[in-house]
Amino acid sequence: MLWAGRSAIEIAAAVRQGVVAAETVVEQHLGVIAERDPRVGAFRAVRAAALDEARAVQQRADLADLPLAGVPVAVKDNLEVAGESTRVGSAATDDVPAAGDHETVARLRAAGAVVVGLTNLPELGLVAFGDSAYGTVRNPWDAGRTAGGSSSGSAAAVAAGMVPVALGNDGMGSLRIPGACCGVLAIKPGAGLVPPPSDDWRGLSENGPLAATAADLSLMLSVLAADPALAEAWRGGRRHEPRPPMLRSIWADDDQIWEPPPPHDSPVPFDLRVAYAPQPLPAGLPMDGEFRAAVRGAAETLRVAGHTVVEHGRLPAWLGPATIATWLARASEAADGLDGRRLERRSRALARAGHTLARLGFDGARGRRRWQDFGADRWFGDADVLITPVLAAIPPPADRWGERGLVRNVLANVRYAPAAGPWNMCGWPAMTVPIATHSSGLPIGVQLVAPPGGEPHLLGLAAQLQSAHPLIRPPGFSY
């Protein structure tokens, strides 16, 4: 039986029940990676130790309790994996193996997951492209287009069916943008839910999962957040009390339990006030008409599902410049301490721009505080969830953007992916859900945003949207 292409929930249940060995699952996925990744370039490194680690999972005394038993997981190459170097997409970083796992990686391993490889990203995670010194990540839907960024390889690996779930992070849209480009789900948790990256961009960046289904995304988020109740949030937009039969959680306290959701269960209806903004960008920034139509389609789907749906307007004009200034300021900090001669032209240019703006007092900090303290809440109004496009245009070509300068990179990023960054500026949870196919043949993702604590609402709505608009694999990557 082929286990590649199955959901994480199906795989974990089969391994727990003895239907298949974790080693067999991982071996099959490594074979799929070997066959498919030359076309995609998702992985910087495939881990030879994965098979031994799968055998170790199979021998664990708590195998029957592991929520991710034997599930192959890809990890973005800016998160520490013990025994592997963390290159962050750059030749200027140290190649010394990490002494230990990042806390999110440790939680995945504790839950029974097996890290099969480290995924590519643009240098230092600075842009919404997938090229670096280690290769160019290509979109599984169209090899001539970028997979987005900066969690490029993680999104492409899930979309191409090389892993069921992956781990990435999001500093200015770096989960949602590649998720939308590649037609998979990805969620940026709100501040404080999941341990952040070692360099969290001064609180802008959050670690989060990517998956092909809302149920798998909920399960991954529950493990990363050490919150078992989130595993079933996709069913009805709330943290669920576990139901029998109940399994002891490997991350919970002694009085906590976790129950894996069955793989084929319809989400429970619930009622939210959903706002939709087909064109949230300030005047002068265009938005693809098909992306606007997808937002309206998602809103109508949720209206039919029983939610109250209202239209919303454009984001404030001052927020865009503040977001760009904040991005460039973080670029200058990310490059500090690295040998500039080994950095790409793009990274040097972004860092110089950030330094210059900071010297002039334009580092975005004032606008971020304004949006974070009261602006976002005031603009959001009384909605529970907001729907917007993730992208403003289809993904640009999968070129070697790192060899280009400041103006071309900034313009390309702002023109195609300007709608994600505001929600990093305020630290609110946000996600992408694939809902349609563009006339170009590429997928269309819509962005769902909620106030702090709204992750269950996002997951519940994602499940309803997926039920009405089922996932389609990229051509040539189905099973």
Check if 439 is active-site.
no
- Report pTM: 0.94
pLDDT at 370: 98
Catalytic pick among 76, 152, 205, 332 = 76
pLDDT at 422: 98
Q: Is the pLDDT of residue 126 over 80?
A: yes
**pLDDT digit string, tens, across residues 168-210:** 999 999 999 999 999 999 999 999 999 999 999 999 999 999 9
The span from the CA of 101 to the CA of 103, in Å, is: 6
Mean pLDDT over the full length of the chain: 94
Check if 188 is active-site.
no
The span from the CA of 171 to the CA of 38, in Å, is: 28
- Measured from the Cβ of residue 87, the count of other Cβ atoms closer than 10 Å reads 22
DSSP, res 214: H
Q: Is the pLDDT of residue 358 over 80?
A: yes
The span from the CA of 374 to the CA of 420, in Å, is: 19
Catalytic pick among 7, 90, 132, 150 = 150
Mean pLDDT of 335-348: 97
Domain ranges of the chain: 8-468
Closest residue by Cα to residue 184 from 476, 475, 391, 473: 473
Tell me the longest C-alpha to C-alpha distance in the chain: 63
Q: Which CATH class is domain 8-468?
A: alpha beta
Q: Give the list of residues 6+ apart from residue 248 with CB closer than 8 angstroms, or none.
A: 62, 65, 257, 258
Structural tokens at position 345:
């032209």
Closest residue by Cα to residue 145 from 120, 181, 186, 185: 181
**pLDDT digit string, tens, across residues 376-429:** 999 999 999 999 999 999 999 999 999 999 999 999 999 999 999 999 999 999
Mean pLDDT of 222-227: 98
Mean pLDDT of 247-255: 39
pLDDT at 243: 45
Check if 154 is active-site.
no
DSSP, res 374: I
Catalytic pick among 132, 154, 174, 205 = 174
Mean pLDDT of 98-122: 98
- Specify burial of residue 426 (Cβ count, 10 A radius: 0-12, 13-18, 19+): buried
**pLDDT digit string, tens, across residues 287-326:** 999 999 999 999 999 999 999 999 999 999 999 999 999 9
The span from the CA of 387 to the CA of 298, in Å, is: 8
Closest residue by Cα to residue 223 from 442, 453, 9, 439: 9
Q: Is the pLDDT of residue 50 over 70?
A: yes
Residue with tokens 């770096």: 174
H-state helical runs in 376-475: 376-380, 406-416, 422-425, 455-468
Banded pLDDT at 57 (limits 50, 70, 90) = very high
Q: Is the pLDDT of residue 245 over 80?
A: no
Can you name the residues that pair with 188 across neighbouring β-strands? 430
Percent of the chain exceeding pLDDT 90 equals: 91
Distance of CA 455 to the CA centre of its chain: 14
DSSP of 81-115: -BTSB--TT-TTS--PBBSS--HHHHHHHHTT-EE
Q: Is the pLDDT of residue 217 over 70?
A: yes
Residue 194 belongs to what H/E stretch? none
pLDDT at 269: 57
CB 391 within 8 A of CB 137: no
H-state helical runs in 386-446: 406-416, 422-425
Q: What is the edge-to-edge ordering of all strands in the sheet holding 43-46?
A: 43-46, 114-119, 72-76, 165-170, 206-211, 185-188, 430-437, 443-449, 385-389, 273-276, 308-311
Q: Give the list of residues 6+ apart from residue 319 with CB closer than 8 angstroms, or none.
A: 282, 367, 371, 375, 422, 425
Banded pLDDT at 241 (limits 50, 70, 90) = low
- Report the DSSP pairing between strands 308-311 and 273-276: parallel
